[in-house]
């Protein structure tokens, strides 16, 4: 266990229990500041000095697709936070284990203990099965309330809203065989890839925020004093939260692994908790957790929205960075074979995220079972979507398409 891991666990236990704890005099001041003020540091922390760059190009540098890592013969590697998208490839590649992902957990615990307004947990659709085969959404909601959250909202309901938005945009914009659309929802790595490497395709990307951002903005529109904490399997969501045009939505991002650490430090036995079940999402929104789920959700919604449209929706999907790049290259070379394209940066989709707890195939199985139990198939039948949109001032679907500024962003 590294010195940072030991410091992290001791500080977390102290923060949760209120026990007296003196930070060791030999604790690394930079590591301590990383834990206490993660927003002031890069997404990837270098925990020890790195000598590999002195012998030429480092292995972590070679796997970075976004040019975020540079090396210096004297100082070793450095990571440009403006270029880093949080894919975690460098962390996985580092043979010396000198790189570690950012942790927001200490500020979250402090907020839960001291903030006078409501703090809401927004949990990503991939949560099913992450904390145990028999740990339901109701038990997890009870646990989060015990931790001090005002409530738990499943981000899948906002995936429903974004599914409806993207279906409406497809129906409006795709009017010939030459037209096509790339989804702008869900995966920040996919969007970062298009923005940084394939920006010529941006005109084909409708300016919609992700379900995480939609969720944060919705909660703050309805509860202006609220703080929002997103919980998911992805380090890239921490990068997305920091993007200037959408930084108003989410205050902190925890990974499933960070939440597991917090539950353990709080001595909460999930299996013994009472149920607090309030599923509001359709199967379509829940399916965002795995590769192909977004395109399937939008396709079904388009077909229900306008079953007789002359240009049918034909979807293609890719997952993993190499697969996404291959799909985009097909589009650029004219080999589209589709008109709606979905990309997910992790193999398997969000269930394969680098900060997930369980294997991606097991995660997908759990999500699919949870989705199969949903009362509604798409957002078109989901009364909670309509009710929520009305509370936000959208009286009709047409209003939602034309005036949904809170769910829009401009890609540059």
Q: Where are the domains of the chain?
A: 3-102, 103-412
Kindly state the average pLDDT of the residues 337-353: 94
Q: What percent of the chain has pLDDT over 70?
A: 96
Query: How far is it, in rounded angstroms, from Cα 300 to Cα 307?
Result: 10
Contacts of 283 (CB under 8 A, 6+ apart): 371, 372, 374, 376, 377, 378
The answer on pLDDT for 53 being more than 70 is no
Task: Order the strands of the 315-319 sheet from edge to edge.
Answer: 181-182, 340-344, 315-319
The answer on pLDDT for 338 being more than 60 is yes
pLDDT: which is higher, 83 or 219: 219
Q: List the structure tokens of 56.
A: 């030429």
- Can you give the length of the chain in residues? 412
Q: What is the CA 381 to chain-centroid distance, rounded?
A: 25
Residue with token string 């972590």 = 60
Label residue 327 by pLDDT band (50, 70, 90). very high
Does residue 120 sit in helix, strand or coil? strand
The torsion defined by the Cα of 326, 331, 334 and 338, in degrees rounded to 10, comes to 110
The answer on pLDDT for 136 being more than 80 is yes
The answer on pLDDT for 116 being more than 60 is yes
pLDDT at 66: 85
Residue 171 CB coordination number (10 Å): 17
Q: Average pLDDT of the chain? A: 90
pLDDT at 37: 93
For 18: left if phi > 0, alpha if psi spans -120 to 50, otherwise beta; the answer is left
The answer on pLDDT for 18 being more than 80 is no
pLDDT at 27: 76
The answer on pLDDT for 50 being more than 70 is no
Kindly state the average pLDDT of the residues 219-242: 95
Q: What percent of the chain has pLDDT over 90?
A: 68
For 243: left if phi > 0, alpha if psi spans -120 to 50, otherwise beta; the answer is beta
Look at residues 112, 106, 103 and name the one whose alpha carbon lies nearest to residue 146: 112
Query: How far is it, in rounded angstroms, from Cα 197 to Cα 273?
Result: 47
Half-sphere exposure of 32 (CA within 13 A, CB side): 8
Label residue 360 by pLDDT band (50, 70, 90). very high
pLDDT at 51: 60
Label residue 146 by pLDDT band (50, 70, 90). very high
pLDDT digits (tens, 9 = 90+) for 82-102: 888 888 888 888 877 788 899
pLDDT digits (tens, 9 = 90+) for 371-390: 999 999 999 999 999 899 99
The torsion defined by the Cα of 217, 220, 222 and 226, in degrees rounded to 10, comes to 150
pLDDT digits (tens, 9 = 90+) for 160-189: 999 999 999 999 999 999 999 998 678 999
Look at residues 166, 159, 254, 288 and name the one whose alpha carbon lies nearest to residue 211: 159
Query: How far is it, in rounded angstroms, from Cα 35 to Cα 42?
Result: 12
pLDDT at 303: 95
Q: List the structure tokens of 26.
A: 């030999």
Kindly state the average pLDDT of the residues 214-227: 96
The answer on pLDDT for 270 being more than 90 is yes
The torsion defined by the Cα of 360, 379, 313 and 183, in degrees rounded to 10, comes to -60
Q: Does residue 148 contact residue 121 with C-beta atoms inside 8 Å? A: no
pLDDT at 332: 95
Does residue 295 sit in helix, strand or coil? helix
Residue 217 CB coordination number (10 Å): 21
Q: What is the CA 76 to chain-centroid distance, rounded?
A: 30
Task: Indicate the DSSP class of residue 311.
Answer: S
Query: How far is it, in rounded angstroms, from Cα 285 to Cα 164?
Result: 10
The answer on pLDDT for 57 being more than 70 is no
The answer on pLDDT for 10 being more than 90 is no
Contacts of 312 (CB under 8 A, 6+ apart): none
pLDDT at 52: 63
Domain 3-102: which CATH number of 3.30.70.20, 3.40.50.2000, 3.50.30.50, 3.50.50.60: 3.30.70.20
Look at residues 234, 228, 259 and name the one whose alpha carbon lies nearest to residue 105: 259
Look at residues 60, 68, 59 and name the one whose alpha carbon lies nearest to residue 90: 60
Residue with token string 């957002």 = 379
């Amino acid at each position: 266990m590294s010195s940072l891991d030991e410091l992290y666990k001791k500080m977390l236990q102290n923060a949760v229990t209120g026990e007296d704890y003196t930070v060791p005099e030999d604790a690394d001041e930079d590591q301590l500041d990383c834990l206490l003020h993660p927003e002031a540091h890069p997404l990837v922390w270098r925990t020890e000095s790195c000598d590999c760059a002195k012998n030429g190009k480092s292995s972590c540098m070679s796997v970075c697709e976004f040019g975020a890592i540079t090396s210096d013969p004297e100082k070793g590697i450095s990571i440009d936070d403006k270029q880093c998208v949080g894919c975690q490839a460098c962390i996985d590649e580092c043979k010396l284990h000198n790189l570690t992902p950012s942790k927001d957990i200490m500020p979250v615990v402090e907020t839960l203990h001291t903030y006078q307004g409501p703090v809401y947990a927004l949990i990503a659709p991939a949560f099913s099965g992450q904390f145990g085969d028999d740990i339901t959404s109701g038990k997890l909601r009870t646990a989060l309330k015990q931790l001090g959250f005002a409530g738990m909202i499943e981000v899948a309901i906002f995936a429903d809203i974004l599914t409806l938005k993207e279906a409406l945009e497809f129906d409006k914009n795709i009017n010939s065989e030459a037209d096509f659309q790339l989804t702008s929802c869900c995966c920040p790595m996919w969007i970062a890839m298009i923005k940084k490497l394939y920006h010529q395709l941006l005109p084909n990307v409708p300016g919609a925020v992700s379900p995480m951002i939609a969720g944060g903005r919705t909660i703050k529109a309805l509860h202006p004093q609220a703080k929002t904490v997103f919980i998911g399997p992805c380090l890239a969501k921490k990068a997305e939260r920091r993007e200037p045009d959408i930084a108003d939505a989410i205050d902190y991002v925890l990974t499933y692994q960070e939440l597991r650490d917090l539950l353990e430090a709080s001595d909460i036995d999930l299996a013994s908790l009472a149920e607090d079940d309030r599923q509001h999402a359709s199967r379509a929104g829940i399916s965002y957790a795995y590769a192909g789920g977004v395109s399937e959700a939008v396709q079904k919604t388009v077909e229900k929205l306008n079953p007789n449209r002359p240009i049918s929706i034909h979807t293609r999907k890719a997952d993993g960075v190499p697969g996404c790049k291959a799909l985009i290259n097909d589009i650029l070379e004219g080999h589209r074979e589709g008109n709606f394209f979905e990309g997910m940066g992790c193999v398997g989709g969000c269930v394969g995220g680098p900060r997930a707890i369980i294997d991606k195939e097991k995660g997908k199985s759990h999500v699919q079972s949870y989705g199969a139990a949903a009362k509604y198939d798409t957002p078109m039948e989901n009364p909670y979507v309509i009710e929520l949109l009305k509370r936000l001032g959208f009286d009709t679907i047409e209003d939602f398409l034309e005036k949904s500024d809170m769910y829009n962003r401009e890609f540059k």
